[in-house]
């Protein structure tokens, strides 16, 4: 679209962004229309093949295969791609029609629609409907409030609901999935390949954290990027590592890795930690994990932050502060609260981000949770060196204004909302740690009594 004569750069930028937004909305409508036409074509192809309500499953399957081949050759696609398009169209014009409507209205992107289809697959209808509702509500909020809802954010929200409502216990599904662990090699262009491990989430996150810590230690004369060092370290450790119980690995000499003890954050509902409930815990950087694994990780943790979670609504009950120096304590609180970089759409984990004063200290900003937020280095610089501006509102909400004047909001991953009386758990009075000699709990305590006992006895170990 040509720029208006004599338009200022700001006005011209605004026009271009409006045009891009309009094109995106048009493409979403076209994708929705394509899904509807694919489904209609499939039904017509079945009629051409003579499929009737009395046809056998074999006849229906052959008609579907024939149509997939027809669609693939028409579009110049591989049959696997055409088959996925057909399967998506069938579900989007059937049980997931509300998602298709949201795509047509421009509220959901195509990647988000496919995430809805993935995470509603293989679960009972009521669970699938609840998972879909999470996506639709997030899309509605994004349109109404200006909150950025990326595909990664949407998947995290949907997975939490899916794991909470799934009729089969997460611990059973996890045990079955563990049996499928394996090493994967996927060829890539230019003589390269992707190497991956399909392992338990807690091990994968720990491996990633250890490599990140090791790769951050720059050596004199080392011109590699952090990502390159992490990849080289992983390869070196796998190729040169020595197993204590296997002499066949003695020919290789493991490189010096140093003593690294990365911190892995696991948010555990308090009743799960007590063994009174099996509500899934949250492994930072991954998502829901089963209660048994969470309790095992908590039991073997050399140190931990106390993050007690409301057993019904998931909000935080307490965060251990009293045994930390103020800067370290505040740093940990803000990172756990934010979860990720607070710039719209960024998914960089908060533990690898900077802590930024929303209002600079030079301008009167305090070093307080209400004026601190996690920003990755890239977006930290963007805030200070570009036209992006941000205001922190109550509850940790961040209101961003782009150089073009667009207002976008981001929410903390864990808002740490106060829990009032009558919300399901009887909290101890303030201060949370009662300075009296502890009295052993009754052999058969109530939930409230055992929760109070845990709060009184738990003494986090400083990092």
115 sits in the region (left: phi over 0; alpha: psi -120 to 50; else beta) called alpha
pLDDT score for 221: 81
What's the rounded Cα separation, in Å, for the pair 273 and 454?
10
Contact 113, 92 (CB under 8 A): yes
Alpha-carbon distances of 351 from 155, 369, 375, 419, rounded to whole Å: 20, 16, 10, 26
- On the CB side of 250, how many CA atoms lie within 13 Å of its CA? 5
Longest CA–CA separation in the chain, Å: 82
CA 49 – CA 45 distance, rounded (Å): 6
Q: What are 81's two structure tokens?
A: 């791609």
Please count the other Cβ atoms lying within 10 Å of the Cβ belonging to residue 429: 7
* DSSP code at position 349: B
CA 163/CA 131 separation, integer angstroms: 10
Quick one: pLDDT at residue 433?
36
Q: For residue 307, what are the β-bridge partners?
A: 319
State the DSSP string of 395-412: GG-EEEE-TT--EEEE--
- Residue 333, C-beta contacts closer than 8 angstroms, at least 6 positions apart: 319, 321, 369, 416
3-state secondary structure of 107: coil
Q: How many CB atoms lie within 10 A of CB 360?
A: 11
Residue found under tokens 């056998």: 56
322's tokens = 């009293």
Q: Is the peptide bond before 431 cis (omega within 30 degrees of 0)?
A: yes
Question: How confident is the chain (463 residues) per 10-residue block, as mean pLDDT?
Answer: 71 91 95 97 91 89 90 89 95 96 95 96 94 93 81 90 88 87 84 87 87 80 87 84 57 42 66 76 74 77 60 49 52 86 87 89 82 91 88 90 84 69 41 38 45 46 37
Distance of CA 87 to the CA centre of its chain: 26
Q: Which two tokens stand for residue 62?
A: 């052959």
- Phi, psi angle pair for 177, to nearest 5°: -70, -35
Residue 417: predicted pLDDT = 58
Structure tokens, 154? 């949407």
Centroid of chain to Cα 304:
21
- Rounded Cα gap, residues 125 and 115, in angstroms: 17
Q: How many residues does the chain have?
A: 463
120-159 burial code (b ≥16 CB/10 A, e <16): beebeeebbebbbebbbebbeebeeeebbbbbebbbbbbb
Could you tell me which residues come within 8 angstroms of residue 156 by beta carbon, excluding any fewer than 6 positions away? 287
């Amino acid at each position: 679209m040509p720029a208006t004569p004599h338009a200022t750069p700001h006005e011209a930028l605004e026009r271009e962004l409006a045009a891009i937004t309009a094109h995106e909305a048009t493409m979403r409508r076209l994708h929705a229309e394509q899904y509807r036409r694919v489904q209609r074509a499939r039904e017509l192809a079945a009629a051409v093949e003579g499929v009737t309500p009395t046809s056998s499953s074999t006849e229906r399957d052959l008609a579907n295969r024939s149509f997939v081949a027809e669609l693939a050759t028409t579009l110049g696609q591989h049959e696997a791609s055409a088959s996925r398009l057909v399967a998506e169209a069938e579900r989007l014009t059937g049980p997931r029609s509300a998602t298709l409507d949201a795509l047509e209205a421009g509220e959901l992107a195509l990647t988000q629609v496919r995430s809805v289809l993935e995470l509603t697959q293989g679960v009972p209808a009521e669970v699938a409907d609840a998972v879909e509702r999470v996506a639709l509500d997030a899309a509605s909020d994004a349109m109404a409030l200006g909150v950025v809802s990326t595909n990664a954010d949407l998947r995290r929200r949907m997975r939490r609901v899916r794991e909470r409502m799934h009729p089969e216990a997460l611990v059973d599904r996890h045990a079955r999935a563990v049996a499928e662990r394996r090493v994967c090699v996927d060829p890539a262009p230019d003589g390269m390949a992707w190497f991956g491990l399909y392992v338990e989430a807690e091990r994968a996150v720990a491996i990633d954290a250890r490599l990140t810590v090791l790769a951050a230690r720059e050596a004199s004369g080392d011109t590699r990027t952090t990502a390159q060092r992490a990849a080289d370290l992983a390869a070196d450790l796998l190729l040169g590592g020595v197993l204590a119980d296997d002499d066949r690995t003695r020919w290789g000499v493991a490189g010096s890795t140093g003593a690294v003890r990365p911190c892995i954050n696991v948010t555990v509902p308090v009743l799960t930690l007590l063994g009174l409930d099996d509500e899934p815990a949250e492994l930072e950087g991954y998502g829901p994990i089963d209660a048994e694994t969470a309790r095992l990780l908590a039991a073997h943790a050399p140190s931990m932050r106390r993050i007690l979670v409301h057993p019904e609504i998931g909000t935080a009950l307490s965060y251990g502060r009293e045994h930390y120096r103020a800067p370290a304590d505040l740093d940990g609180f803000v990172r756990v609260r934010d979860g990720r970089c607070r710039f719209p759409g960024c998914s960089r984990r908060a533990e690898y981000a900077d802590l930024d004063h929303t209002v600079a200290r030079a301008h009167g900003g305090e070093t307080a949770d209400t004026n601190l937020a996690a920003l990755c280095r890239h977006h930290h610089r963007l805030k200070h060196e570009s036209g992006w501006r941000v205001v922190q509102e109550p509850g940790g909400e961040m209101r961003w204004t782009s150089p073009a004047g667009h207002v976008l909001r981001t929410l903390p991953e864990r808002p740490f909302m106060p829990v009032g009386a009558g919300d399901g758990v009887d909290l101890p009075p303030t201060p949370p740690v009662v300075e009296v000699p502890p009295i052993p709990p009754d052999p058969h305590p109530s939930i409230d009594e055992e929760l109070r006992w845990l709060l009184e006895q738990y003494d986090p170990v400083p990092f």
